[in-house]
Amino acid sequence: MQESNYSVNNFEQCIKCTICTAYCPVVPVNPLYPGPKQAGPDGERLRLKNPFFYDENLKYCMNCKRCENACPSGVKIADIIHSARKKYSSARPSLRDRILAGTDFMGAVARPVAPVVNAVMATDLAKVAMDSFLGVDKHRSFPKYQFKGFEGWFRRNARKAQAEYPNQVAFFHGCSTEFQHPEVGKAFVSVMNALGYGVQLIDEQCCGVAMISNGLWKAAEKHARHNIETFSKTDLPIVTTASTCTFTMRDEYPDILGVDNSAVRDRITLVEKFIYEKVDDGKVKLVFKPDFKARVAYHIPCHMEKLGWSIFTRRLLEAIPGMNLTILDSGCCGIAGTYGFKKENYKYSQAIGKPLFEQIASVHPEYVTCECDTCKWQIEMSTGYKVLNPILILAEALDLEATSRANAAQ
């Protein structure tokens, strides 16, 4: 495994234009945050002279990467900030941070008693207790755990048939598909099968993004190493339905955690990109239902902006006859994974997301779509509109039997 690239970060490329500051969603709402220029390249110059200049307020960076997208000099601003947190911060993760970061552990604990956990978490008493004793804001609502997960469904209903398909993919389904939204994994399997691809599950662990956000660096590195080793054992494409998992495994593993993923990085992809490229190459056909109709607003998550892959989702959705699609203005929803769950961040989180929530209300779609589950939770809680992963829309819009026949005849 390679060493962290912290020592070769490119802060010296900064030309001090302050464009990053104009694009940072935290700066206008939180006076405590120094902003990307000061927290990133400017701060780095000082920290290298003397670690005394490290500022614990760097914790307010949401790692949305909007500053990096805007920077004309290609400075890896957010990577510099999070590498500095990793190197200099003396703050230790609290119990709250560990609970929020332990997505797979918490899911496994909650699942056997999911109805009870869901009912208790929805009560005012539990919310006030978590606010007072843990620091999880009482206004936040929690996604519901499912009693039956995706992997169990796959083993019982789908695994046997997968070997019959002429092509294969490995599916990294992530924690939320396993514990909260198994319907996303089921839709993935049905669409991939209709396209002539069998689905293989792999020995995955949580991508570790919540551990990175909460300063659990060693645990995040452990998960990263495990996943890269698992991916190395297959030569199949590693396909996901979640934009942040994809981005984390492709870019955060080497850039923040110092875990070398070069042998597998190019095989880690998002399902919309995978399908679009196969259609574009003439390798698969999509047959849509003639009577499907929907009025949908597409929110592009921050990490989709960073990947530059929203065009694939957009083109696929636009290809659906009967689709009335609005592309929402590019903007952060404010949740940033676990960031918006924290009491100290809640008001900033909601202020950041407000323009997006207002635009959704003005568009008044039947539902919203986006590839990120925490964006989904934030938008559903803050607007009341339902949010669906694009693979659910594709699974519903496709005539799966006709698509299967079309691809079998290829």
Binding footprint of ligand SF4 on the chain (CB under 6 A): 14-20, 23-24, 26, 36-37, 40-41, 61-67, 70-71, 73, 75, 77-78
CB atoms within 10 A of CB 104: 19
Cα distances from 319 to residues 106, 193, 322, 401, in angstroms, run: 39, 20, 9, 18
| Min separation Cβ 132 and ligand SF4, Å | 28
Min dist. Cβ of residue 340 to ligand SF4 (A):
12
**Residue whose CB is less far from ligand SF4, 64 or 238:** 64
Task: Please tell me the total number of residues recorded for the chain in this structure.
Answer: 410
Closest separation in Å from C-beta 377 to ligand SF4 = 19
Q: Which is nearer to ligand SF4, 48 or 109 (CB)?
A: 48
Kindly list the distances between the CA atom of residue 126 and the CA atoms of 119, 142, 233, in Å, as whole numbers in the listed order: 10, 11, 44
CA–CA gap between residue 329 and residue 299 (Å, rounded): 8
SS (H, E, C) 280-312: HCCCCCCCECCCCCEEEEECCCHHHHHHCCHHH
Distance CA 137, CA 88 (A): 27
Please report how close the Cβ of residue 363 comes to ligand SF4 at its closest, in angstroms.
25
Measured CA to CA, the distance from residue 59 to residue 401 in angstroms comes to: 50
Closest distance between ligand SF4 and the C-beta of residue 271, in Å? 25
- Smallest gap from residue 199 Cβ to ligand SF4 (A): 33
CA neighbor of 370 nearest in space, from 145, 181, 150, 209 = 181
Structure tokens that stand for 21 in this block: 């500051």
Q: Which is nearer to ligand SF4, 181 or 299 (CB)?
A: 299
Beta-strand relationship, 367-369 and 323-327:
unpaired
Closer residue to ligand SF4 in complex, CB, 18/123: 18
**CB of 127 or CB of 303, closer to ligand SF4:** 303
Report the C-alpha gap between 114 and 125 in whole angstroms. 18
Closest to ligand SF4 by CB, 76 or 111:
76
The whole-angstrom separation of Cα 195 and Cα 309 is: 21
| Least distance (Å) between residue 48 CB and ligand SF4 | 16
Query: What is the rounded distance in angstroms from the CA atom of residue 232 to the CA atom of residue 260?
Result: 12
Q: What is the nearest approach in angstroms of ligand SF4 to the Cβ of residue 145?
A: 29
Q: Give the residue among 71, 84, 96, 8 at the shortest CA–CA distance from 39.
A: 84
Between 55 and 204, whose beta carbon lies closer to ligand SF4? 55
Q: How far is the CB of 352 from ligand SF4 (least distance, A)?
A: 9
108 neighbors 178 (Cβ within 8 angstroms): no
Q: Pick the closest to residue 177 from 407, 393, 372 (CA basis).
A: 372
- Helix or strand (DSSP H, E) at 368: strand 367-369
Nearer to ligand SF4, 14 or 239 (CB): 14
Q: Which is nearer to ligand SF4, 39 or 268 (CB)?
A: 39
